[in-house]
Amino acid sequence: AAAAEAEVRLLLQEARESIEAARSYRRELQQRLRGLHQAREQIKESATLTRDVLEQHFSDLKGTLKKLLDERLMSLLQEVDVIEQESIKPLDECQKLIEHGVSTADDLLREGESAVDGDVGTQNEKLCNFTKKALHIQLDSLPEVPSLVDVPCLSAQLDDCLLTILKNQIFRHGTVASRPPVQLEEFVEKPGGILVRWCKVDDDFIAQDYRLQYRKSTASHFEDVYVGSETEFIVLHIDPNVDYQFRVCARGDGRQEWSPWSVPQMGRTTLVPHEWTTGLEGYSLSSRRNIALRNDSQSCGVLYSKAPTYFCGQTLTFRQTVGQPDRRDSLGVCVEQQNGYDSLQRDKAVCISTNGAVFVNGKEMTNQLPAVTSGSTVTFDMEVVQLGPCSNEGGNFKLRVTISSNNREVVFDWVLDQCCGSLYFGCSFSYPGWKVLVF
């Protein structure tokens, strides 16, 4: 009985495992069906959109070509009118002169015939008058009439090769691409932003520039956010926990037109943006509070972040416009806000001075980075290396820190006496003119 019961339990276990495997198999198949449905919808929607674009484009071309042909026809007809009028005008004047001469000759004939056939008594006087009049008219002077070879003979010169040229150009105009040469590759969450990466999927396509666009999922139009030769870009001013749609295209080497757009993809960030804290007299902030400007105030001190928003595993980036440097200037991170200091060159903080000196817990390291320059970036990267037991009461805790500036970097271990899940960032400048963007 025990053996039979064990066999039943084994069979039940196998049956349950088979049922779970069947459920998993069904889920996978359903997921693949959804993928096939999405692929089919993408093909249909893109085909419909492509048809609409082609029909609209060629409709516009037809209208433009008809307008251009009508304008050219009107221009040629006006040219015919001008030549005709300018050529007919002297002929009309000559005709009037000849018609006047014919009328004069008719009058002279009637008068001469009357004089010849008149009474003998008056005939002598009439003949004298007629003869004088005939001499005065100059009957041997005739107006010159141009020969047919000397007057214009209009004709239209039409080159049939235009049709051949247009035919060849039209047959080569436009292409239908089944796949864009560039596709979006990766989205990396950043505080208040998204790092977007893309790549070429057509090895034969030589890209000169890329063009990245985005829009909120609720918006109707995309907007440009980057145009350049890089294959990644950090899109800032992104609201956390909101879907954004991205797409990218490329321009071939030596070409003016852009390639088809990539398949649009959704990206989002769950990380709140980095912000400087408000209220410190020596600094003015931008509307989004991610840019701090050292103003003309004589007040000094450390400007901290609003909250400890920097987490290990992320990259913290400062980009600055420089002013007059001072050895107490600092850019860096700290465990906690401590008022009363004029620099981050203190305990529980790591920072870089504007002259490139690196400080750990207030002590200057022997390794030094290049001096901070206008438009350059300073980045902090940290990863956790735990030395001993860590609890709510504290313990040994080590962070491996990498600070980079102007293509140089220093790497060191920062030992703390407490666990730090997140850190504050801060800056301090002695003189006005410094401006720092953090992201």
CATH pick for 182-269 out of 3.20.20.210, 1.10.3720.10, 3.30.70.270, 2.60.40.10: 2.60.40.10
pLDDT of residue 121: 60
Residue located via tokens 């100059």: 138
pLDDT of residue 395: 52
Query: Residue 197: left if φ>0, alpha if ψ -120 to 50, beta else—which one?
Result: beta
Burial of 7 (0-12, 13-18, 19+ CB in 10 A): exposed
Amino acid identity, residue 268? R
Q: Which two tokens stand for residue 210?
A: 């890329």
CATH of domain 283-438: 2.60.120.920
Give me the tens of pLDDT residue by residue for the chain, a chain 439 residues long: 788 888 888 889 999 999 999 999 999 999 999 999 988 998 898 899 889 989 999 999 999 999 999 999 999 999 999 999 999 998 998 899 888 888 888 888 887 887 777 665 667 777 787 777 777 777 767 788 888 888 888 899 888 888 888 888 889 888 887 788 999 999 999 998 999 999 999 888 899 999 999 999 888 899 999 999 999 999 988 999 999 999 999 998 888 889 989 999 999 999 989 999 998 999 999 998 999 999 998 888 999 999 999 998 889 999 999 999 999 999 999 999 998 899 999 999 999 999 999 999 999 999 999 999 998 899 999 998 875 555 444 457 889 999 999 999 999 999 888 888 789 999 999 999 999 999 9
Domain ranges for the chain:
1-172, 182-269, 283-438
Cα–Cα distance for residue pair 331/344, rounded to 1 Å: 7
Instruction: Calculate ∠ Cα 87-92-93, nearest 5°.
Output: 105
Burial of 67 (0-12, 13-18, 19+ CB in 10 A): exposed
pLDDT of residue 30: 94
37 Cβ neighbours under 8 A, 6+ residues apart: none
pLDDT of residue 122: 65
Q: Nearest Cα to 214, choosing from 261, 246, 183? A: 246
